[in-house]
Amino acid sequence: MTVIANILIIATISFGTIFILVTAIGLIRLPDAYSRAHAASKSATLGVMSILLGVFFHFWLNEGSFNSRILLGIVFLFVTGPVGGHMMGRAAYISGVKMWDKSVRDDLAEVVKKKRELEK
Amino acid sequence: MTTFLWVIVVLIGISLLGFLYRLVKGPTTPDRVIALDAIGVGIISLIGLISILFDTGYFLDVILLLAILSFIGTVAFSKFTEKGVIIQRDRNS
Protein backbone atom coordinates (compact mmCIF):
# COMPACT_ATOMS: atom_id res chain seq x y z
CA MET A 1 0.00 0.00 0.00
CA THR A 2 2.81 2.38 0.86
CA VAL A 3 4.54 1.60 -2.43
CA ILE A 4 1.42 2.41 -4.44
CA ALA A 5 0.92 5.62 -2.47
CA ASN A 6 4.52 6.65 -3.04
CA ILE A 7 4.24 5.94 -6.76
CA LEU A 8 1.10 8.08 -6.91
CA ILE A 9 2.79 10.92 -4.99
CA ILE A 10 5.95 10.81 -7.10
CA ALA A 11 3.93 10.77 -10.34
CA THR A 12 1.79 13.79 -9.44
CA ILE A 13 4.67 15.83 -8.02
CA SER A 14 6.89 15.10 -11.05
CA PHE A 15 4.06 16.12 -13.40
CA GLY A 16 3.62 19.40 -11.56
CA THR A 17 7.34 20.12 -11.49
CA ILE A 18 7.61 19.58 -15.25
CA PHE A 19 4.84 22.14 -15.75
CA ILE A 20 6.49 24.67 -13.44
CA LEU A 21 9.78 24.28 -15.31
CA VAL A 22 7.87 24.80 -18.58
CA THR A 23 6.46 28.00 -17.06
CA ALA A 24 9.97 29.24 -16.25
CA ILE A 25 11.17 28.46 -19.78
CA GLY A 26 8.12 30.22 -21.22
CA LEU A 27 8.59 33.31 -19.05
CA ILE A 28 12.22 33.58 -20.10
CA ARG A 29 11.92 32.77 -23.79
CA LEU A 30 8.57 34.04 -25.09
CA PRO A 31 8.61 37.37 -26.92
CA ASP A 32 5.87 39.66 -25.55
CA ALA A 33 3.77 40.24 -22.45
CA TYR A 34 0.64 38.45 -23.72
CA SER A 35 2.35 35.19 -24.59
CA ARG A 36 4.18 35.34 -21.26
CA ALA A 37 0.85 35.79 -19.48
CA HIS A 38 -0.46 32.81 -21.43
CA ALA A 39 2.49 30.71 -20.25
CA ALA A 40 2.34 31.85 -16.66
CA SER A 41 -1.37 31.71 -15.95
CA LYS A 42 -2.24 28.29 -17.38
CA SER A 43 0.74 26.01 -16.95
CA ALA A 44 1.75 27.40 -13.56
CA THR A 45 -1.78 26.83 -12.29
CA LEU A 46 -1.81 23.24 -13.52
CA GLY A 47 1.64 22.60 -12.06
CA VAL A 48 0.87 23.92 -8.60
CA MET A 49 -2.47 22.08 -8.57
CA SER A 50 -0.71 18.82 -9.36
CA ILE A 51 1.98 19.37 -6.72
CA LEU A 52 -0.60 20.20 -4.07
CA LEU A 53 -2.54 17.09 -5.06
CA GLY A 54 0.63 15.08 -4.41
CA VAL A 55 1.01 16.73 -1.00
CA PHE A 56 -2.62 15.94 -0.25
CA PHE A 57 -2.10 12.27 -1.21
CA HIS A 58 0.97 12.14 1.05
CA PHE A 59 -0.90 13.46 4.06
CA TRP A 60 -3.92 11.28 3.33
CA LEU A 61 -2.36 7.93 2.43
CA ASN A 62 0.88 7.97 4.43
CA GLU A 63 -0.04 10.05 7.47
CA GLY A 64 -3.73 9.21 7.61
CA SER A 65 -5.08 12.72 8.00
CA PHE A 66 -7.61 13.93 5.46
CA ASN A 67 -6.51 17.52 5.11
CA SER A 68 -9.27 19.59 3.56
CA ARG A 69 -7.29 22.84 3.61
CA ILE A 70 -5.13 21.61 0.72
CA LEU A 71 -8.24 20.77 -1.29
CA LEU A 72 -9.56 24.27 -0.57
CA GLY A 73 -6.23 25.69 -1.74
CA ILE A 74 -6.37 23.63 -4.95
CA VAL A 75 -9.89 24.84 -5.73
CA PHE A 76 -8.95 28.44 -4.94
CA LEU A 77 -5.88 28.33 -7.19
CA PHE A 78 -7.92 26.68 -9.94
CA VAL A 79 -10.45 29.50 -9.84
CA THR A 80 -8.17 32.49 -9.36
CA GLY A 81 -5.12 31.68 -11.48
CA PRO A 82 -6.70 32.14 -14.93
CA VAL A 83 -8.79 35.07 -13.66
CA GLY A 84 -5.65 36.90 -12.57
CA GLY A 85 -3.94 36.15 -15.88
CA HIS A 86 -6.94 37.42 -17.83
CA MET A 87 -7.18 40.65 -15.82
CA MET A 88 -3.48 41.27 -16.27
CA GLY A 89 -3.68 40.70 -20.03
CA ARG A 90 -6.62 43.09 -20.35
CA ALA A 91 -4.85 45.73 -18.28
CA ALA A 92 -1.75 45.31 -20.43
CA TYR A 93 -3.76 45.81 -23.62
CA ILE A 94 -5.65 48.86 -22.38
CA SER A 95 -2.54 50.48 -20.94
CA GLY A 96 -0.96 50.17 -24.38
CA VAL A 97 1.65 47.41 -24.22
CA LYS A 98 2.83 46.61 -27.74
CA MET A 99 2.29 43.16 -29.20
CA TRP A 100 5.07 41.16 -30.79
CA ASP A 101 5.83 42.52 -34.27
CA LYS A 102 5.23 39.10 -35.86
CA SER A 103 1.68 38.81 -34.48
CA VAL A 104 -0.82 38.27 -37.27
CA ARG A 105 -4.18 39.23 -35.73
CA ASP A 106 -5.45 41.89 -33.37
CA ASP A 107 -9.19 41.48 -32.98
CA LEU A 108 -9.47 43.74 -29.96
CA ALA A 109 -8.06 46.85 -31.69
CA GLU A 110 -11.24 48.01 -33.43
CA VAL A 111 -13.39 47.38 -30.36
CA VAL A 112 -11.10 49.44 -28.14
CA LYS A 113 -10.96 52.18 -30.81
CA LYS A 114 -14.77 52.32 -31.04
CA LYS A 115 -15.05 52.50 -27.24
CA ARG A 116 -12.53 55.33 -27.08
CA GLU A 117 -14.46 57.26 -29.74
CA LEU A 118 -17.70 56.77 -27.82
CA GLU A 119 -16.16 58.19 -24.69
CA LYS A 120 -15.06 61.41 -26.41
CA MET B 1 11.65 9.62 -1.24
CA THR B 2 13.55 12.33 0.66
CA THR B 3 16.17 12.59 -2.09
CA PHE B 4 13.43 12.86 -4.71
CA LEU B 5 11.76 15.66 -2.75
CA TRP B 6 15.02 17.59 -2.41
CA VAL B 7 15.62 17.25 -6.15
CA ILE B 8 12.14 18.66 -6.77
CA VAL B 9 12.84 21.53 -4.36
CA VAL B 10 16.03 22.37 -6.27
CA LEU B 11 14.21 22.24 -9.62
CA ILE B 12 11.49 24.59 -8.37
CA GLY B 13 14.22 26.86 -7.00
CA ILE B 14 15.76 26.99 -10.47
CA SER B 15 12.42 27.93 -11.99
CA LEU B 16 12.00 30.59 -9.27
CA LEU B 17 15.30 32.04 -10.45
CA GLY B 18 13.83 32.15 -13.96
CA PHE B 19 10.77 34.02 -12.70
CA LEU B 20 13.08 36.40 -10.81
CA TYR B 21 15.00 37.11 -14.01
CA ARG B 22 11.75 38.14 -15.72
CA LEU B 23 10.77 40.19 -12.65
CA VAL B 24 14.00 42.19 -12.76
CA LYS B 25 14.40 42.50 -16.52
CA GLY B 26 10.80 42.59 -17.78
CA PRO B 27 10.39 45.58 -20.08
CA THR B 28 6.86 46.56 -19.03
CA THR B 29 4.87 46.57 -15.80
CA PRO B 30 2.52 43.69 -16.81
CA ASP B 31 5.55 41.44 -17.36
CA ARG B 32 6.68 42.12 -13.82
CA VAL B 33 3.24 41.50 -12.36
CA ILE B 34 2.93 38.22 -14.26
CA ALA B 35 6.33 37.20 -12.91
CA LEU B 36 5.19 38.09 -9.38
CA ASP B 37 2.12 35.92 -9.80
CA ALA B 38 4.29 33.04 -10.98
CA ILE B 39 6.64 33.57 -8.03
CA GLY B 40 3.67 33.25 -5.69
CA VAL B 41 2.75 29.97 -7.36
CA GLY B 42 6.32 28.67 -7.02
CA ILE B 43 6.48 29.58 -3.33
CA ILE B 44 3.16 27.82 -2.73
CA SER B 45 4.47 24.59 -4.23
CA LEU B 46 7.73 24.94 -2.27
CA ILE B 47 5.75 25.23 0.96
CA GLY B 48 3.80 22.08 0.09
CA LEU B 49 7.01 20.14 -0.51
CA ILE B 50 8.68 21.50 2.63
CA SER B 51 5.71 20.50 4.74
CA ILE B 52 6.21 16.94 3.47
CA LEU B 53 9.95 17.14 4.20
CA PHE B 54 9.53 18.53 7.72
CA ASP B 55 6.65 16.10 8.35
CA THR B 56 4.25 18.67 9.71
CA GLY B 57 0.85 19.95 8.67
CA TYR B 58 1.15 23.38 10.22
CA PHE B 59 2.48 25.01 7.08
CA LEU B 60 -0.64 24.20 5.12
CA ASP B 61 -2.49 27.31 6.26
CA VAL B 62 0.25 29.36 4.66
CA ILE B 63 -0.70 27.89 1.27
CA LEU B 64 -4.19 29.37 1.43
CA LEU B 65 -2.88 32.68 2.77
CA LEU B 66 -0.29 33.03 0.01
CA ALA B 67 -2.82 32.08 -2.68
CA ILE B 68 -5.23 34.76 -1.48
CA LEU B 69 -2.50 37.41 -1.15
CA SER B 70 -1.09 36.64 -4.59
CA PHE B 71 -4.53 36.91 -6.21
CA ILE B 72 -5.33 40.17 -4.43
CA GLY B 73 -1.97 41.58 -5.46
CA THR B 74 -2.49 40.65 -9.10
CA VAL B 75 -5.97 42.17 -9.18
CA ALA B 76 -4.80 45.38 -7.49
CA PHE B 77 -1.86 45.77 -9.86
CA SER B 78 -4.00 45.15 -12.92
CA LYS B 79 -6.65 47.66 -11.84
CA PHE B 80 -3.90 50.17 -11.19
CA THR B 81 -2.21 49.75 -14.56
CA GLU B 82 -5.56 49.83 -16.33
CA LYS B 83 -7.25 52.83 -14.74
CA GLY B 84 -4.77 54.46 -12.38
CA VAL B 85 -6.96 53.74 -9.34
CA ILE B 86 -7.55 50.53 -7.44
CA ILE B 87 -10.97 51.15 -5.90
CA GLN B 88 -13.20 52.97 -8.35
CA ARG B 89 -16.24 54.96 -7.31
CA ASP B 90 -17.69 55.47 -10.78
CA ARG B 91 -19.08 52.15 -11.95
CA ASN B 92 -20.10 53.31 -15.43
CA SER B 93 -16.65 54.00 -16.77
Best residue of A3, A7, A10, A17 to probe chain B, by most B CBs closer than 10 Å: A17
Helical segments of A30-107, H only: 33-57, 68-94
Tell which phi-psi region holds residue B26, choosing left (phi > 0), alpha (psi between -120 and 50) or beta.
beta
Q: Is ipTM strictly over 0.90?
A: no
Taking the complete model, does pTM exceed 0.90, yes or no?
Answer: no
Q: How far apart, in whole angstroms, are the C-alpha atoms of residue B78 and residue A88?
A: 5
* pLDDT per position as a tens digit, B52-90: 999 888 888 889 999 999 999 988 888 888 877 767 776
Identify the CA nearest to A19 among candidates B12, B55, B49, B9.
B12
Output the pLDDT for position B11. Answer: 92
Q: Of all residues in chain A, what percent carry a pLDDT higher than 90?
A: 31
Mean pLDDT per 10-residue segment, chain A (120 residues):
88 93 90 86 90 91 86 91 88 84 83 81
Chain A residues with CB inside 8 Å of B9's CB? none
CB-based contact A50:A16 (threshold 8 Å): yes
> How close does chain A come to B83, measured CA to CA in Å?
8
Identify residue A75 by its one-letter amino acid code: V
CA-nearest of A79, A43, A72 to B60 is: A72
Nearest-by-CA chain B residue for A70? B60
**Cα A93 from Cα A106, distance rounded (Å):** 11
Question: Could you tell me the residue range of the domain that residue A23 belongs to?
Answer: 1-119
| Side-chain half-sphere exposure of B56, counting CA atoms within 13 A | 7
Task: Quote the pLDDT of residue B13.
Answer: 92
Amino acid present at B59: F
Determine how many CB atoms are found less than 10 A away from the CB of residue B9: 17
Cβ-contact B43, B66 below 8 angstroms: yes
Domain count, chain A: 1
The average pLDDT across B34-51 equals 90
